[in-house]
C-alpha cells in the first residue's frame, strides 16, 4: 500500500500530528511496507527547540501519531478488518 494510512482511513482528520485536513499540522504519513509501517516526515527550521535540535514536543507527537497508526493497522490485520478500530488512545478514526 503506497497510500498513507492517515489519508486512506481518516482523510478528514484534523489531528495536529497526522491529520490530512490540518493545514498547520505536521501531516505525518505512515505507510505499509511489507510487514512494517514506516513514517515519513521532514523537519523544518521552525520545528527546532534550539539550533540543530528538534523540539521534544514535536518528537513526542511523531512517536504518538505513528505508533497509533501502526497499532491500528496491525489490529486491523489481526481482525481481518477493513477499517481501523473506532477508537485508539482516544482518537476517532473518522
Domain boundaries, the chain: 5-82
Q: What is the pLDDT of residue 87?
A: 63
Q: What is the pLDDT of residue 8?
A: 95
Q: What is the pLDDT of residue 38?
A: 97
User: DSSP character for 46?
Assistant: G
| Contact predicate 25/16, CB 8 Å | yes
Q: What is the pLDDT of residue 88?
A: 57
Give the separation between CA 77 and CA 72, rounded to whole angstroms.
9
Low-confidence ranges of the chain (pLDDT < 70): 1, 87-94
Q: What is the dihedral of CA 49, 53, 56, 61, to 10 degrees?
A: 110
pTM, entire model: 0.85
Q: What is the pLDDT of residue 40?
A: 87
Amino acid at each position: 500500500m503506497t497510500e498513507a494510512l492517515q489519508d486512506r482511513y481518516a482523510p478528514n482528520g484534523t489531528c495536529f500530528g497526522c491529520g490530512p485536513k490540518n493545514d498547520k499540522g505536521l501531516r505525518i504519513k505512515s505507510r505499509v511496507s511489507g510487514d512494517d509501517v514506516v513514517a515519513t516526515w521532514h523537519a523544518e527550521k521552525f520545528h527546532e527547540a534550539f539550533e540543530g535540535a528538534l523540539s521534544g514536543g514535536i518528537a513526542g507527537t511523531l512517536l504518538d501519531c505513528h505508533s497509533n497508526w501502526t497499532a491500528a493497522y496491525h489490529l486491523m490485520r489481526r481482525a481481518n478488518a477493513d477499517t481501523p478500530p473506532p477508537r485508539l488512545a482516544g482518537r476517532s478514526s473518522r
